[in-house]
Structure 1
């Protein structure tokens, strides 16, 4: 099957809104895909804010964490936002009321990454305590602790059918776990430095890894073989994601660029230049024709 090609993303940036209000670095950002009408931002000012994409106005400021917020995610129904913090807890917030729903406690170090499953009834958190926790969202209880990595966890994600969890670690490896049992299914080695981000494509057939060694890799989630190596960044790659079609990969790097790659060939299709400092985060919208990047230069850019 031929994946639809991504429209050429014009580097002539059209800025829609500037979201102002946080009093420190905005470190985490997310669209409420597939709806795309809200953005959540998590900041070192210990708050999370919910914004309207349409107007740029702030709906809610979620207060309660006692340290920096470093990761966040919407549930698939777009009724909750989960935030992970340096205070070792994750919190669930109600989008409508702005109230805190629950606090997930159990990790002994900061929570650096979190992800909902597709159904929205489970959340996975990765921590600097080297472990990953699987939580039941309605009750706020811990279901499994995934133990095996020999370094801090950098990134966690469910696959589409919620059967697998992928984790990246400072131990230079990526692991695939069975969600139901908490058992480790495979360890993907090959990177020469810390694995900083991991993700599945939407179908769960592919896995992408980004590393401090300046390279990214795409693996088969079936055979666990490496399909392509993405090499041309001049600094560590902190973020990686697939477009919805699974045909393109987007990487964000300390070299101040984001890059767009062809999944199968590993060819770099476009370099998004303009940020004046390292890029922390990048994401596709659902259609795959718009990219958002967030940088240490304190700006977000929207490319389409």
Structure 2
């Protein structure tokens, strides 16, 4: 972005146009990262990043209560994001504000070009990176380093940079230098022993598996952009505006409107032109249909991923599969000799797993209804049934769970030469009530009834730090993106847990639970709702973001237990106006 033809301080998205992104020369203004050179601690709220070249006609420092410089610089970044570079240049010229100061521009360039010593030098304030022939001895513009965000850890940032350097060397098969970086540059941090161990194992990884095991994006350029995003969050926002900040602010505006709209149930984002509200009339709050084909309690219901079918599992030892237009039953699966506890659709919807108290899981072809394989855990006690199952993203591998401590988790693959033999059995010692696999196949989440949620890496089978709770849990359910987990608690609450941080971020209260397995799920067009069964015969629906109980719907009547229990719920992933529930009264409500 050319600010003015007669100045040497010319920037295009953070890089000098004259140097094509090389380290910029010392600026004419006496500032460091846009901060006055006599104060660069980052503690003063008055510190600014804008390298103000010259002032436009006098304007008030605020715009409708907002800092004018912040608004203008975010607008400049937004215009560049959208491809309006000329407009961004005009705005910069007229306002006198530039998007980024020279140190920030040079840091951005060094990361994206993989000049790691230069990036570290700018970050720390050292001139050791500047080896250009035309550098001047008095050029101390970076001596103070970048101003970091509050709580940022310089060592963590250096670890990320050197980790990227290490991975790129592995990708280039320069194993000798990579090993030296691991030993001499990464290990001294002792930052994360588990991560260092994981990195060391990559030295023996075949080239074709490296990026998958390192959880790397498709290209080196993409990984550097991701690294820059992580680093930018550690740099003071007044120094380096996070990428796509204008779009982020628009997202927040729209999300706030959605959060304020209790019945927002559409995938169409609200308009920025006006405030938004949805009518309760269009929310699925009335029973449209009742299915009465089961002769026993209904323990689990689940829609196919394309929303075209519904599977229901029952105490009567059968599984029914319905199409979801007329709700005609297209298959009744009768192969189990005991209660069916769980059903799981493969991601491509061509297969379904049924789990039973007869200690067996069975895989069926959905189109024909034909059974493909029967699976048994190698157990010393035949009283333990199969409690749950979860598919991997390839629709060929899956995990089954059991209460049997000797064989609680088994990994299977239908492409194996012996598909009825597990490819991996986790070490004994705990029980599993419920299980889920993230959509990318990375994490396996297992509910241990001893108040523990266990998390495993599906690539290595290694157990990660667990999530411990203070109350008994009965079921889990993952969000579509695999980032959050719903957990039904026996104390009568549904907790939402962030899988990355392991923190409980929401608590939904009101439903009754304590004696039976009760299930919940996310629902709605954008998973804006949480819906759960209950031991009082009601269905509870909460707004996910603000935890408000928005509906308490009549569910199911008395069952053999004498209670009016809604045991299971599922929301159609393709039709936001449809969800199903099953209960002890042997019925399925749509």
Q: Using structure 2 for the length normalisation, give the TM-score.
A: 0.47
Q: Is the Cα contact below 8 Å between 1:233 and 1:253 reproduced in 2? A: yes
Paired residue for 1:11, among 285, 310, 334?
Answer: 285
**SS state at 1:238 partner:** coil
1:271 and 2:552 matched: yes
Counterparts of residues 272-287 of structure 1 (less than 5 Å): 272-276=553-557, 277-286=564-573, 287=575
Change in 2 beyond 3 A, CA 1:241/1:180:
same
Change in 2 beyond 3 A, CA 1:246/1:14:
closer
| Distance of 2:300 and 2:495 partners within structure 1 | 23
- The structure with the greater share of residues assigned to strand is 1
Shift of 1:82: 0.8
> How many aligned positions are there?
297
Paired residue for 1:63, among 327, 330, 334?
Answer: 334
| Distance of 1:240 and 1:116 partners within structure 2 | 19
Change in 2 beyond 3 A, CA 1:10/1:242:
closer
Which stretch of the first structure deviates more once superposed, 45-54 or 203-212? 45-54
Q: Is the Cα contact below 8 Å between 1:85 and 1:110 reproduced in 2? A: yes
Q: Is the Cα contact below 8 Å between 2:297 and 2:583 reproduced in 1? A: no
| Distance of 2:530 and 2:425 partners within structure 1 | 30
Q: Is the Cα contact below 8 Å between 1:85 and 1:112 reproduced in 2? A: yes
Q: Which residue of 2 aligns with 1:112?
A: 387
| Distance of 1:264 and 1:191 partners within structure 2 | 23
Change in 2 beyond 3 A, CA 1:10/1:204:
closer
Paired residue for 1:257, among 528, 535, 538?
Answer: 538
Alignment RMSD, CA only? 2.2
Deviations 1:91-141 (A, max 9, x none): 111122221101112253201111212321221111111412221133324
Deviations 1:196-215 (A, max 9, x none): 11122111111121111211
Paired residue for 2:297, among 14, 19, 25?
Answer: 25
Change in 2 beyond 3 A, CA 1:280/1:149:
farther
Shift of 1:217: 1.0
- The structure with the greater share of residues assigned to helix is 2
Which stretch of the first structure deviates more once superposed, 52-61 or 66-75? 52-61
Moved segments of 4+, more than 4 Å = none
| Distance of 1:148 and 1:203 partners within structure 2 | 30
Paired residue for 1:137, among 414, 417, 420?
Answer: 414
Shift of 1:267: 2.6
Q: Which residue of 2 aligns with 1:207?
A: 485
Q: Which residue of 1 aligns with 2:441?
A: 162
| Distance of 1:160 and 1:283 partners within structure 2 | 18
**SS state at 1:46 partner:** coil
Shift of 1:148: 6.8
Change in 2 beyond 3 A, CA 1:107/1:202:
farther
| Distance of 2:490 and 2:427 partners within structure 1 | 23
Unaligned runs of 5+ in 1: none
Shift of 1:10: 4.2
1:294 and 2:569 matched: no
Paired residue for 1:226, among 504, 507, 515?
Answer: 504
Q: Which residue of 1 aligns with 2:68?
A: none
Change in 2 beyond 3 A, CA 1:253/1:106:
same
| Distance of 1:218 and 1:252 partners within structure 2 | 16
| Distance of 2:378 and 2:540 partners within structure 1 | 34
Paired residue for 2:522, among 234, 238, 242?
Answer: 242
Change in 2 beyond 3 A, CA 1:78/1:274:
closer
Shift of 1:296: 0.7
Q: Which residue of 1 aligns with 2:357?
A: 86
| Distance of 2:320 and 2:510 partners within structure 1 | 35
Q: Which structure has the greater CA radius of gyration?
A: 2
Indicate the structure whose relative CO is greater, using CA pairs within 8 Å and at least 6 residues apart: 1
| Distance of 1:28 and 1:14 partners within structure 2 | 19
Shift of 1:147: 4.2
1:175 and 2:454 matched: yes
